[in-house]
Amino acid sequence: MHPDLEEILYTEEEIKDCVQKMGAQITRDYQGKDLIVISVLRGAAIFMADLVRSIELPMEMDFMAVSSYGSAAKSSGVVRIIKDLSSSIEGKDVLIAEDIFDSGLTLKYLMKTLHSRSPRSLEVATLFCKEGKKEAEVDCKYIGFNCPDRFIVGYGLDYAERYRNLPYVGVLKEQIDTL
Ligand code: IMP
Ligand code: MG
């Protein structure tokens, strides 16, 4: 385990298993559809890469980058698009791959923006959904893990841009000497 972590919550194996099951479910649900999986950089990139490899259908991938104003650990709900999609989603079956659903504010904004571009369908696959009060309600069609209301890192999730490369997910120690 990384020395800055207090505890591992989800092992590499558990995550792999969960992502594979989600991919299999998506494969069943999206037969005959025009699927495009969109991920929100940077956190969801690792999840997206694993998820699409377990979807056995013809599909497209695209990326968006957004930034929420305010501190890293708390979402403000004001979202700025840093990088937009490269392709049109009109008439397509869009699935947003998200790393973690916390307050819901980021996703809510994103759903609204994408909805206005007339996709045929628009759904969310999130790897983690944090337990606790949501400031914005968004229906996530696919949820990997319902996780405790703690700040977690690894498998794409960062603290100050670090720890994204950890293959597992855990909780940071209160005191970190290496930062
Ligand atoms: P929301 O708008 O509050 O749902 O925030 C979602 C975004 O905040 C995620 O896409 C993450 O980038 C970040 N975030 C929320 N909780 C955590 C966490 O526990 N660890 C790392 N990033 C988090
Ligand atoms: Mg982040």
The one catalytic residue among 50, 93, 99, 102:
102
Element (H, E) at 62: strand 60-68
Residue pLDDT, tens place only, 32-68: 999 999 999 989 999 999 999 999 999 999 999 988 6
- Ligand 1: which of 64, 75, 138, 161 to mutate, most ligand atoms within 8 Å of CB? 75
Report whether residue 101 contacts ligand 1, using a CB cutoff of 6 Å. yes
Confirm if 77 and 47 have CB atoms less than 8 A apart: no
Residue pLDDT, tens place only, 102-151: 988 888 989 999 999 999 999 999 999 999 877 888 899 999 999 999 99
What's the pLDDT at 72? 54
125 exposure class (CB count in 10 Å sphere: 0-12, 13-18, 19+): buried
Look up the pTM and report it: 0.92
Q: Please confirm, yes or no, whether 93 is among the known catalytic residues.
A: no
- Whole-number Å distance between alpha carbons of 25 and 23: 5
